[in-house]
């Protein structure tokens, strides 16, 4: 009887310990689940490291968001093709894109994306056709028989869009030559810098006309007029949108709205925002709209290869 009693007592004790352990494990799992639910998701932002300042910009953005309860991290890529692919594969949630990178992702994603945030300077952007004053070019029709200087084909404002607009205005590109600076014009993967090289090529006489950004032209005309001496504007494009934060159509809408709200709330008087805004050349961030990219998407539909490495957006012999 004594042995039976001891065995029964031992079994009861073991069962009690097991039950206690199971309860503890269940509570721990509930605690882990609750803790995980309470921890906000880290949103991954992708961008191109086109200059050392990219690290400063996105490190300050990370700190700015962290202090406002929305943890983000960032990944820098060497070129926009890699960034587009990273967004497509969901390696990043949001990408800081050029207009062409935004359009390329939009097309690859089945013509669906979220256009989140832009700088104030990204709205109503225009390209200008400038010509040497010693060349008989007064309108785009006068380009026939002349050489047109173009920058990076990865810069929509330098190639795809002005070509699209000029073609629809009646310019016959079979009747002119293209001096392309593609492959020579980018600065550390930044296609937006190609207008600097276009200006230099015009001044060196490598063409009679070229495409520049309207903002760049006005800036030089006002502050450094000697750099544009001997040139005149003969045509200005319709407006379009420039750089934009892009997200996939499936990216959490609440997180997208929170990201947008915090970007729009950036104040240059805030130490964590001031350097970001200065380096990005913006006075304020604005909500993005797909409207400003419609003509670019239309241009790419008409010339599908224009956002690829084998772009033939001019379909003309290059000098």
Strands (E), the chain: 43-48, 72-77, 94-97, 114-119, 127-132, 147-150, 177-180, 209-213, 231-236, 244-247, 285-287
Using the structure block, give the residue that is written with the tokens 């199971």: 22
Which range has the worst mean pLDDT, 126-135, 171-180, 269-278, 307-316? 307-316
Backbone φ, ψ for residue 128 (5° rounding)? -125, 145
Q: Is the pLDDT of residue 26 over 60?
A: no
Instruction: Name the percent of the chain lying above pLDDT 70.
Output: 80
Distance, CA of 293 to chain centre? 12
Which range has the worst mean pLDDT, 99-103, 107-111, 189-193? 189-193
CA-wise closest residue to 188 among 1, 49, 32:
49
State the chain's mean pLDDT as an integer: 86
Backbone φ, ψ for residue 5 (5° rounding)? -65, -45
Q: What are the pLDDT digits (tens) for 151-178?
A: 988 889 999 999 999 999 999 999 999 9
Mean pLDDT computed over 26-38: 48
Mean pLDDT computed over 262-267: 98
Q: What are the pLDDT digits (tens) for 68-97?
A: 999 999 999 999 999 999 999 999 999 999
- Give the DSSP letter string of 254-296: HHHHHHHHHHHT--TTSHHHHHHHHHTT-S-EEE--GGGGHHH
Mean pLDDT computed over 126-145: 97
What pLDDT is recorded for position 183? Answer: 75
Q: Which residues contact 127 (CB under 8 A, 6 or more apart)?
A: 157, 158, 161, 162, 165, 211, 212, 213, 214, 236, 237
β-strand 285-287 against 114-119: which pairing, if any?
antiparallel
Instruction: Judge whether 177 and 150 are in contact, CB under 8 Å.
Output: no
Q: What are the pLDDT digits (tens) for 108-122?
A: 999 999 999 999 999
Backbone φ, ψ for residue 214 (5° rounding)? -60, -40
Instruction: Judge whether 145 and 176 are in contact, CB under 8 Å.
Output: yes
Q: What is the dihedral of CA 151, 193, 78, 264, to 10 degrees?
A: -120
Judge residue 194's burial from the number of C-beta atoms within 10 Å of its C-beta, 0-12 exposed, 13-18 middle, 19 or more buried.
Answer: buried
Q: Is the pLDDT of residue 30 over 90?
A: no
Take residue 2 and report the two structure tokens written for it.
Answer: 């004594």
Q: Is the pLDDT of residue 297 over 70?
A: yes
Instruction: State pTM to two decimals.
Output: 0.81
Comparing 244 with 27, the larger pLDDT belongs to 244
Take residue 282 and report the two structure tokens written for it.
Answer: 């913006």
Q: Is the pLDDT of residue 12 over 90?
A: no
What pLDDT is recorded for position 261? Answer: 98
Q: Is the pLDDT of residue 232 over 80?
A: yes
What pLDDT is recorded for position 182? Answer: 86
């Amino acid at each position: 009887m004594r042995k039976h009693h001891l065995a029964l007592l031992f079994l009861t004790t073991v069962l009690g310990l097991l039950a206690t352990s199971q309860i503890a494990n269940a509570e721990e799992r509930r605690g882990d689940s609750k803790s995980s639910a309470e921890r906000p998701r880290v949103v991954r932002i992708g961008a191109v490291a086109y200059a050392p300042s990219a690290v400063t910009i996105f490190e300050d953005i990370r700190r700015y968001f962290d202090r406002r309860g929305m943890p983000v991290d960032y990944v820098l890529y060497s070129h926009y093709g890699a960034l587009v692919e990273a967004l497509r594969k969901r390696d990043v949630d949001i990408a800081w894109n050029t207009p062409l990178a935004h359009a390329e992702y939009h097309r690859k994603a089945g013509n669906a994306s979220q256009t989140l945030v832009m700088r104030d300077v990204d709205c109503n952007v225009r390209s200008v056709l400038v010509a040497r004053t010693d060349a008989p070019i007064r309108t785009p029709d006068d380009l026939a028989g002349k050489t047109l200087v173009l920058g990076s084909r990865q810069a929509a404002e330098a190639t795809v869009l002005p070509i699209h607009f000029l073609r629809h205005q009646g310019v016959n590109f079979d009747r002119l030559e293209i001096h392309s600076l593609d492959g020579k014009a980018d600065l550390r993967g930044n296609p937006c810098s190609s207008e600097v090289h276009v200006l230099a090529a015009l001044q060196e006489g490598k063409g009679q006309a070229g495409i520049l950004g309207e903002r760049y032209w006005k800036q030089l005309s006002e502050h450094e007029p000697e750099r544009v001496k001997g040139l005149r504007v003969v045509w200005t494009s319709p407006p379009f949108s420039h750089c934009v934060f892009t997200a996939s159509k499936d990216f959490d809408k609440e997180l997208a709205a929170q990201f947008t709200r915090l970007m729009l709330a950036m104040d240059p008087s805030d130490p964590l925002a001031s350097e970001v805004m200065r380096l990005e050349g913006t006075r304020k961030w604005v909500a993005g709209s797909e409207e400003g990219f419609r003509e670019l998407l239309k241009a790419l539909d008409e010339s599908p290869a224009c956002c690829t490495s084998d772009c033939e957006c001019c379909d003309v012999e290059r000098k």
